[in-house]
Chain A
Amino acid sequence: MRALCWNGVNKVEVENVPDPKILNDRDAIVQITSTAICGSDLHLLDGYVPTMKKGDVLGHEFMGEVVEVGKGVSNLSVGDRVVVPFPIACGACNACNMELYSLCENSNPNARIAEKMFGHPTAGIFGYSHLTGGFAGGQSEFARVPFADVGPIKIENGFSDEQVLFLSDIFPTGYMGAEMCDIQGGEVIAIWGAGPVGQFAAASARMLGAERVIVIDRFEYRLAIAEQHSGVETLNYEEVDSVPEALKELTGGRGPDACIDAVGMEAHFHGPLYAYDRAKQAARMETDRPYVLREAIMSCRNGGIVSIVGVYGGFVDKFPMGALMNRGLSIRTGQCHVQRYLRPLLERVQNGEIDPSFVVTHRLPLDEAPRGYELFKHKEDDCLKVVLKP
């Protein structure tokens, strides 16, 4: 089959690789009909996630048709149309019992590497380094889905692929980012990053009843999409002198009730601190550039919540711990527990509360995936989200 392989930093190519096979009884093989490039794939492309190996098949946002099931899978049959969540979860361990699916205790065969890095291991993820198990990803024609009786959700209504594909990652991820803000109604929420996750965080914050949502980015086309589709206010950080000051002034001096970091480890900004972070990251003296995180903490109102859904990988420098502690802020974060959100969010799509396809700007055949990565990485041609068709 054809699959997109990581062949080194800034090098991805579509190659012929063997077709996946059933390895465990609870596996299924899915013929992929749509798959997307995620912002976190760019961290892999850029070489900021350790334990990548030449030839790794990427992709963790995908859906398709079940073509084979292992003998331990009774809830799916050949021909079913499914969306596959990016974390792999067994459904039987304590973490899964608590619906913390991205922390499944059994799905990562490389748990020991993850344990060394993070203290405790995390779940397996499709196409997302060997730290998360070394599972082949879904930017390919077929994919093997372990624990297929737990993760995939059947799509039985006549939705288009693009309306449901993002249930695999970015829609639930954005939603969880907003949910972690404890929105009761009447809040002001600030969101850094108007990429696909930021867009869904903004839309979700509105759905959950936030009174005002302010999205921060530097790309006008992305801010315009957020404004159009989610009715939010926007702030172009390249045009303001200081984001925390601007947010203070926009919120009666209080600061936003909650701040969502939908950017993560490769934050971009202007100023001397950016040069400092780039240099330290290049010298491998810090793995992540936490500029947005610093800004979110400094901006948040006293006693507020900082919700982190942008991806971080290792260590950050100049972390404003004093502000966090003394001003009583709470940090909430995590890789999304997608399985928990599949059904409720599909219902919201069914009820017409949201049509997730609004983020799609580019549709390419799988063979043009490398160009898709280029477009997305460099934000060329007003790119927001690339969907690949195998």
Chain B
Amino acid sequence: MATHSIRTRDKDSLAVFLGWFSVGLGTAQLLAPKAMCKIVGASGDGASRRLMRLMGARELTQGIGILTRPRPTNWLWARVAGDGLDLSLLTLTLAKNRNGRTLLAIANVLGVTAPDVYESLHLSRKTGEPREGMPVRKAVTINRPREEVERAWANAQELRERVLEADATVSFSEAPGNRGTELAVDFIEQPPAGDLGKAVQKLSGKDLATQLADDLRRFKQLLETGEIVRSDATPAGHLLADHLKQRPAQPLEEAIR
């Protein structure tokens, strides 16, 4: 038996989470240094605001590094070093102000240092070339014979062009148990700017995986039922980009055909 390599990547969800955590914290420190000073019990005067901004810039850079690199081992260690720096600055603040908020901030930094160290060690153990992209497969089972599905695919020009453009490969196989045909589209997901770019694409509904999922669903609908199913809320049929601006489930004024 083969070991599958679908959706394998070096970065796990903890690394991605820590990356977004850095981006969030860093942005807050950069944009609202006074409020952040108050939260950690620092004075909030000019010097400490400047220091807070500087730490924010550091935090943001680490976050972007983690999110954009395929195997961000060094960026994770940079987070650990940053935790050390934060802890020493907070200790100095505590010595000066003796504020309960500072104590709480120290506890919070300690709380995030543990996963930082854990993930840094985890990534450090990985060897070999980092995996740049992630192999992704979008697949659908169509309850029709394989020849028919292949013929329909040959005629689905728009869909074939999109797949070609994305450098994806298409394969057909008989589904086990006489359940028709499995259609699989394989491609390497490698958005510009890594997880950061992926998030932007996802939010705009423009990532290939989502678009392909929609396309394959429609392809299946056409083959199995002869039509694209429309509801009152989605008169144009199923499209992710339209989800947020759905109409109420109420008949349309004019029939759109």
Cross-chain contact of B225 among A22, A57, A106, A133 (Cβ < 8 A) = A106
Min CB gap A331→B, angstroms: 24
Complex Cα–Cα for A21 and B228 (A): 16
A96 vs B238: C-alpha distance when bound (angstroms): 20
B251 touches A134 (CB 8 A): no
Given known pairs A94-B141, A134-B246, the reply for A110 and B231 (CB within 8 Å) is: yes
A72-B227, A107-B229, A134-B232 in contact; A94/B180 too (CB < 8 A)?
yes
A23 to B252 alpha-carbon distance, docked (Å): 10
Is B224 a contact of A135 with CB atoms below 8 Å? no
- Take A18-B252, A54-B248 as given contacts and tell me if A110 and B234 are in contact as well, using a CB distance cutoff of 8 Å: yes
| Contact in complex: B246, A130 (CB < 8 Å) | yes
Binding site for B on A (CB under 8 A): 1, 3, 5, 17-26, 53-57, 72, 90, 92-94, 97, 105-113, 124, 127, 130, 133-137, 144, 146-147
Cα-based distance from A240 to B188 in the complex (angstroms):
62
Provided the pairs A92-B224, A93-B143, A109-B231 are in contact, do residues A23 and B250 lie with their beta carbons within 8 angstroms? no
User: Would A55 and B250 count as touching, CB distance under 8 A?
Assistant: yes
Q: Are B179 and A110 in contact (CB under 8 A)?
A: no
| B221, CB-defined interface residue at 8 Å | yes
Instruction: Decide if B243 touches A106 in the complex (CB within 8 Å).
Output: no
Whether B249 pairs with A130 at a CB distance below 8 angstroms is yes
Q: Given A18-B252, A54-B248, A134-B246, decide whether A110 and B141 contact each other with a Cβ distance below 8 A.
A: no
* Residues in B whose Cβ lies below 8 Å from that of A5: 248, 250
B237: interface (CB < 8 Å): yes
Residues of B within 8 A of A111 (CB): 217, 238
Cα distance, A196 to B216, chains bound together (Å): 40
**Closest 8 pairs between A and B when the two form their complex, measured CB to CB:** A134-B233, A55-B248, A21-B255, A20-B251, A56-B249, A92-B224, A109-B234, A109-B238
How far does the alpha carbon of A106 sit from the alpha carbon of B231 in the complex, in Å?
A: 12
**Cβ contact within 8 Å between A110 and B220:** no
Residues B182-239 near A (CB distance < 8 A):
210, 213-214, 217, 220-221, 224-235, 237-238
A147 contacts across to B, CB distance below 8 A? 225
A-B contact pairs, 15 of them (CB 8 A): A21-B255, A23-B235, A26-B226, A53-B248, A55-B248, A55-B250, A56-B250, A72-B226, A109-B234, A109-B238, A110-B238, A124-B229, A130-B246, A133-B234, A134-B234
Name the one of B179, B213, B220, B251 contacting A21, with C-beta atoms under 8 angstroms: B251
Beyond the given A108-B229, A110-B243, please list 15 additional residue pairs across the A-B interface where CB-CB is below 8 A.
A23-B257, A24-B227, A24-B230, A26-B227, A57-B251, A72-B227, A90-B225, A90-B229, A92-B225, A109-B230, A109-B237, A112-B238, A133-B233, A133-B234, A134-B232
**Chain A residues near B228 (CB, 8 Å)?**
24
Q: Which A residues lie within 8 Å of B141 (CB)? A: 94
Residue among A26, A108, A135 making CB contact with B232, cutoff 8 Å: A135
Determine whether the beta carbon of B179 is less than 8 Å from that of A23. Answer: no
Tally of A-B Cβ pairs under 8 angstroms: 133
Nearest chain B residue, comparing its CB with the CB of A21? B255
Say whether A124 contacts B231, CB under 8 Å: yes
Name the A residues within 8 Å of B167 (CB-CB): none
**Chain A CB within 8 A of B147 CB:** no
B253 touches A18 (CB 8 A): yes
* B224, A93: Cβ atoms closer than 8 Å: yes
B251 touching A136 by the CB < 8 A rule?
A: yes
Taken together as a complex, chains A and B put the C-alpha atoms of A245 and B83 apart, in Å, by 56
Taking a contact as CB atoms under 8 Å apart, the answer to whether B240 and A112 are in contact is: yes
Asked if A113 and B243 sit within 8 Å, CB to CB, the answer is: yes
Contact A23 B226 (CB under 8 A): no
B1 at the interface (CB under 8 A from A): no
B256 close to chain A: CB less than 8 A:
yes
- Chain B residue contacts of A127, Cβ below 8 A: 249
- Please give the distance in Å from A49's CB to the nearest CB on chain B: 12
Residues of A within 8 A of B217 (CB): 111
Complex Cα spacing A134 to B251, Å? 10
A110 touches B227 (CB 8 A): no
Question: B233, B251, B254: which contacts A110 (Cβ < 8 A)?
Answer: B233
**Contact call B248/A105, Cβ cutoff below 8 A:** no
Is A135 within 8 A of B249, CB to CB? yes
Output the nearest chain A residue to B180 by Cβ-Cβ distance. A94
Chain B residues closer than 8 Å to A124, beta-carbon distance = 229, 231
Q: A21-B255, A90-B224, A144-B251 known; A109 and B233 CB under 8 Å?
A: yes
- CB pair A136 B250 closer than 8 Å: yes
Residue of B nearest to A142 (CB): B251
Chain B nearest CB: distance from A167 CB in Å? Answer: 23
Per the bound structure, the CA–CA distance linking A220 and B238 in Å amounts to 47
Contact for B226 among A17, A19, A25, A130, CB less than 8 A: A25
Measured between beta carbons, the chain A residues less than 8 angstroms from B252 are: 18, 21, 23
CB distance from A247 to the nearest CB of B (A): 40
Cα-based distance from A207 to B174 in the complex (angstroms): 42
Across-interface contacts of A144 in B (CB, < 8 A): 232, 251
B234 touches A18 (CB 8 A): no
Taking CB atoms, residues of chain B closer than 8 Å to A55 are 248-250
**A135 CB contacts on chain B under 8 angstroms:** 231-233, 249
Contacts of B250 in A (CB 8 A): 3, 5, 17-18, 55-57, 136
A134→B244 CA distance, assembly (Å): 13
Q: Which residues of A contact B213 (CB under 8 A)?
A: 112
Q: Are B224 and A106 in contact (CB under 8 A)?
A: yes
Chain A hits for B257, CB < 8 A: 23
